[in-house]
Chain A
Amino acid sequence: MNGPYIKDLNNSKKIFRNILISLIPLLIYKLFLTGINGLILLLVSSITTLTTNILIEYIKNTNKNYIYSIIMGIIIFLVMPSNTPFMLIFLTNIISMIIFKFVNFINPIAISSFITYIFFIVTKNEFILPEYNIYILIGISIIILIYLIINNAIKFRISLAFLLINLLGFIMNLELNGLYLIIVFGLFVIPELFSTPNLAMSQILCGLILGILSILLPIEYFILSIIIINFLNKYIDLNIAIYLAN
């Protein structure tokens, strides 16, 4: 057995638990705004991600990582329009979890939300987002961000870079994608662990690029760009790593 013989007290479970805790304020706020319909949507979303995950892991006979699939289910609920049909969230979550379990560098939340937003566009339905109080939303977001940074739980550099670009966009009076979506995407969707780069420099780059794209593109294309960038992340990370190592 080789060292080190002491280890940091942090572990994967604690990291996932911190993400879960950080989701609570926004989750409660969205449930408060969307009522019973929201609660059903949340249950459908998280139960689908969890059961799909259990089934796939059973078939693949791999490590059981249930808590992360529940996290995915909750974030998908936060991103989805309040009027998303239950069947749609059920199906998109199954598709995204299957893809994620086999190609884990693609953001499952982005897949689910991309299909959903395209559905709204194709069916010419208007999607409804919660009518939030701007001060409460900003307050909640600041608390979450501080909590995540203190606990070093997410790749916070991506979030910071993304939110900073959007703040600049706001100051420059550019048309943004709506504060609610910016916050949910910035805090929880784009820094998703498995689909993002590892190096600090690539994380900042990723956050900046996605921040710019979120200003330039309508929501559905912005989500598509997240998926496309997922494919580039490994390449960017590897090249920056080679540059730094030499």
Chain B
Amino acid sequence: MRGKKIINRKNMSITKNIKKFSEPDYVYIPLISYNNTSFDVKVKISDYVLKGQILAISDDKFSFPIHSSVSGTVKGIEKHSYIDNTLIDTIVIENDFLEKEKKIGSVKKINNYSIEEVLELLKNAGVVGMSGTNYPTYYKYGTELKINTLIVNAVEAESYITSDFTILNSKTSEILETIDALLEIFNINECIIAVKDFNKKAVDDLIQYIGSYTKIKIRSVPDSYTMGWDKYLVKYLLNLDVKNNTIEKSVLVNNVSTIYSIYEALKHRKPIIERIVTFSGEGIKKPQNVLVKVGTKVSDVIKFIGGTKKGNYIAIINGPMMGKMVDDDVIITKNTTGVIILKESTDKEIECINCGKCTNICPVRLAPVLIMDNQNNEKILNKLNPKKCIECGLCSYICPSKIKLRDIVISSKEKVGDK
């Protein structure tokens, strides 16, 4: 399997305690669920809202309700930057710091739910893929196909980011309890927790706790970038070739932070209104993981943890390989795994030396250099199938001439469109 051990800077942000930032003056609750941004807003300016209260709903099949992450007063709707740099509507709430929560009904034991009840709870709590996908979890579990294996993805392939690592280390028993409940409720045969070789501590902790959970196994995977990709994991762990979606092989892959969100939804009936986010990089004064409310401005959190160093730095959201450079205005969403502050690159792009490294590293076996050479030949471009690109960035990472191959492949993808 193709991949590469990329520059590892995870140690920077691993700290013993997780800081909690629960006091932003304002939160900007993003009106987005998966790809949908059209919502029926249920609150008006000056309304008082409780923490966890539903603010907006949508009919879209991938949608879930939007909850408030603080108690306070609705101030209006403003546009702010989303993690992909697009501007989206957000509901602005002035925090009263009282943390008044919406009362919830009776709570059952975590494994005492029917499938329908779990799906309903996951939808109402807005549980999504927390690794960046934002894909609704209720939709994944709502499959009509039999699930044989649940893979809990704690690989966290990106450099610098340690939010999954932190949650796995700090909430080990809760995660195992949730997995056990899911196996029972959905009649899943087994679960494999995939952890990187690097994360020895998590493996040791899991082994300590795992004794009574006979259906749960831990497997460490090589420290190689793109190993966290679902299809690779299924191939590596189960030797199954996935064409489109892992469920076609009766395998469901969930990120470990998502499992913890499921725990919160089932155990405490809590919607997902906060998450652990890594703040790291050479430009951050005190790199660490922070528990942040959804809708908090990134700049507020950075100020709270001590700010950035002086110099020419850029902010990247969700990891240096696949993430995007963002501005100060960006807000924390459910799928924000980390904010990395790095020095601006001074690498100059030079002529291709035809070394072939890009073609021999691409995990989906594309030939980025040939795609680049055939930019203007649509017929050949189409045959080179840039649509298959998963945008992992390995080709740009490895290129000794520092050519932005990923951008070229992505633009070729757009060029060939659906032809």
Give me the interface of A with B, judged by CB distance under 8 Å.
1-12, 14-15, 62-63, 65, 152, 155, 193-194, 196-200, 203, 237-238, 241-242, 244-246
Contact = CB atoms under 8 A, between A and B. Distances in A.
B400 A12 contact: yes
A5 B323 contact: yes
A8 B159 CA distance: 12
Given A11-B402, A14-B400, A241-B370, A3 B321 contact: yes
B115 interface: no
B354 A196 contact: yes
B325 to A, nearest CB: 6
A242 B374 CA distance: 12
Q: Is the interface of A mostly helix, strand, loop or mixed?
A: loop
B369 interface: yes
B320 A198 contact: no
A6 B407 contact: no
Given A12-B401, A15-B400, A193-B355, A5 B345 contact: yes
Interface residues of B, number: 48
B226 to A, nearest CB: 12
B113 interface: no
Nearest to B347: A7
Nearest to B388: A245
Contacts of B302: none
B393 interface: yes
Contacts of A238: 370, 380
Which of A15, A194, A238, A241: most chain B CB closer than 10 A?
A241
Contacts of B340: 5
B278 interface: no
B161 interface: no
Contact of A200 (B360, B364, B400): B360
B406 A4 contact: yes
Contact of A242 (B356, B384, B399, B401): B384
B321 A244 contact: no
A226 to B, nearest CB: 16
Contact of B365 (A63, A194, A244): A244
B159 to A, nearest CB: 6
Nearest to A14: B400
A241 B356 contact: no
Contacts of B159: 6
A12 B365 CA distance: 23
A179 B21 CA distance: 70
B400 A6 contact: no
Interface string B285-323: 000000000000000000000000000001010001111
28 contacts: A2-B324, A3-B316, A3-B322, A3-B325, A4-B393, A4-B396, A4-B406, A5-B314, A6-B6, A8-B6, A8-B7, A11-B400, A12-B400, A14-B400, A15-B400, A155-B356, A194-B353, A198-B358, A198-B369, A199-B359, A199-B360, A237-B370, A241-B359, A241-B384, A244-B366, A245-B364, A245-B388, A246-B385
Nearest to A246: B385
Given A12-B350, A246-B383, A6 B397 contact: yes
A63 B402 CA distance: 14
Interface string B48-68: 000000000000000000000
A237 B371 CA distance: 12
